[in-house]
Amino acid sequence: MNNDIDKILYSSADIQAEVKRLGQQLAADYQGKNPLVICILKGAILFMADIVRNMDIPLEMDFMDISSYGAGTISTGEVRILKDLDSSVKDRDVLIVEDIVDTGRTLKALSDLLKQREANSIKICTLLDKPERRVEGVDVDYVGFQIPDEFVVGYGMDYAGHYRNLPYVGILKREVYENN
Ligand SMILES: O=P(O)(O)OC[C@H]1O[C@H](OP(=O)(O)OP(=O)(O)O)[C@H](O)[C@@H]1O
Ligand code: HPA
Ligand SMILES: [Mg+2]
């Protein structure tokens, strides 16, 4: 797996330091609000697990699986709900936890849906933001790192289902996906 990585962008230690900073900020901002923290499967699973461990306040968690990419590296523009939330978001302070905001399509669709379901507030926390690729305007409230327009994997992020278990975030070698 490591041989398929061009460059490590953020080491495990870099990520843990940033997650700690974000978690402490979120805990301060959501003190007394009992937020519903929503993990967007599957990419955000590692980030979610680390961020909630750094939020030392009462909160609840839920999970939703939304997909827009299929098996490739280019967004299809079509967003599908593969698994919906178990809980109601009505009147809740919702914090969406994502691994990466790329075109913004996933989060635009999700924010619109949660607004329709009458959440009291909706905020977004993402580990990575790739602003150059945005096609939908979304307000991202908490960002770990801004990255250039490169396809990245690791720490939850995949290419064709692989690399999610790498402990760091790295740029995937183009040759890995350009011939597929
Ligand atoms: O801003 P966008 O262009 O919408 O892209 C970002 C989304 O795409 C990826 O998920 P994907 O749909 O590939 O599913 P996964 O999380 O299960 O890997 C990533 O985890 C984000 O959820
Ligand atoms: O750069 C990326 N890597 C993995 N998954 C993604 N989904 C959107 N952008 C990316
Ligand atoms: Mg995802």
Q: pLDDT tens digits for the chain (180 residues)?
A: 899 999 999 999 999 999 999 999 999 999 999 999 999 999 999 999 999 999 999 999 999 999 776 556 665 556 789 999 999 999 999 999 999 999 999 999 999 999 999 999 999 999 999 999 999 999 999 999 999 999 999 999 999 999 999 999 999 999 999 876
Please report the pLDDT score of residue 76 as a whole number.
58
Q: Is the CB of 130 under 6 A from ligand 1?
A: no
Class of the CATH domain delimited by 12-148: alpha beta
Please report the pLDDT score of residue 131 as a whole number.
96
Please report the pLDDT score of residue 79 as a whole number.
76
Active site residue 102: yes
ipTM strictly over 0.95? yes
Distance CA 8, CA 171 (A): 6
Distance CA 8, CA 13 (A): 12
* Catalytic one of 93, 99, 102, 158: 102
* Nearest atom in ligand 2 to 75's CA: 8
Smallest CA-to-CA distance from 114 within 128, 142, 93 is with: 93
pTM: 0.95
Q: Could you give the angle at the alpha carbon of 16 between the alpha carbons of 56 and 138, nearest 5°?
A: 80
Distance CA 108, CA 180 (A): 29
- Residue by residue, DSSP assigns 36-55 as EEEEEETTTHHHHHHHHHT-
Surrounding ion ligand 3 within 5 Å at CB are 43
Smallest CA-to-CA distance from 47 within 115, 140, 128 is with: 128
Q: Are 79 and 106 in contact (CB under 8 A)?
A: yes
Q: Is the CB of 40 under 6 A from ligand 1?
A: yes
Both tokens of 48, joined, read: 């979610």
Please report the pLDDT score of residue 37 as a whole number.
98
